[in-house]
Amino acid sequence: MSRISTAIAVSGKGGTGKTTLSGLLIVSLVKAGKTPVLAIDADPNATLNETLGVKSDKSIGLLREEVRENIDSIPVGMPKETFLEYQIQDAVIEEKGFDMLAMGRPEGPGCYCYVNSVLRKYMDQISGNYPYVVMDNEAGMEHLARNTTRQADYLLITTDPSIRGIETAARIRDLAEEERLKIGHIYLVVNRVEPDSELNSALKEKIDERKLDLAGIIPRDSLIEEFDLEGKPFFDLPDDAPAMIAAKKILEQITRR
């Protein structure tokens, strides 16, 4: 991404609630008036739109394939780059307080390199129009190896409250450092912690041992589970929902450090 005010990338192994965290962060920013927010769903298994209550039937991945397969459909006399920029603009979903862009499936064998180059260039340009960008990445470490998360002020790695989860988070942190990605700060977020409880001593010791910087915890919240089951947008969550309060606190914690 190009120079923007604040870019937050969310990562973690599958099932740890990274999309939930991404949605909570976006809702918190919008409700705080820190708009417009650019929400980027970089997970091929795209569900971020559901947490935000928007329909998403277009993606960069689909655009890439359509252009590759129908290169002759570009209007005569129109530069390819201009045509692609129009197509990307059409893929951006505009909502009150935020815009959303789904990346779709990643680049595969035989990808059209020119298209990818234009897409990255244009993504860099439009990102600069937003004071906040929140990117929900795919599970695991593949997005780091492919440089999907090329630049961010903050990388939040989610985990469940388990030793194995913390080890996985540490490996994601290590890979980010090995790849020398342009990330300002890397933090750990522990999700689904039992309400009114803290991390047990074994988890705290493992976090310290792996030298992970804990930004905060998200408690298990029955409202989040209810909203996920019923497909309700997180914008309808009450401000005093435990998970919402925790997300706001994490935002405050990382941005003040």
Residue 101 sits in a domain whose CATH number is 3.40.50.300
Number of H helices, E strands in the chain: 10, 8
What is the number of domains present in the chain?
1
The boundaries of the domain holding residue 218 are 6-256
pTM for this prediction: 0.87
pLDDT for position 141? 58
Residue 147 has which token pair? 């440089």
Q: Alpha-carbon distance 166 to 159, whole Å?
A: 6
Block means of pLDDT (10 residues each) for the chain, 257 residues, are 71 91 97 94 84 86 73 75 78 92 66 56 76 85 54 92 95 88 92 90 96 96 95 96 97 84
Separation of alpha carbons 85 and 203, rounded Å: 47
Give the pLDDT score at 225: 93
Domain membership of residue 142 (yes or no) is yes
Task: Please check whether residue 181 lies inside any domain of the structure.
Answer: yes
Which pLDDT value is given to residue 160? 95
Query: Residue 218: inside a domain, yes or no?
Result: yes
CA distance 5 to 183: 14
Task: Look at residue 1 and tell me if it is in a domain.
Answer: no
**Would you say residue 98 lies in a domain?**
yes
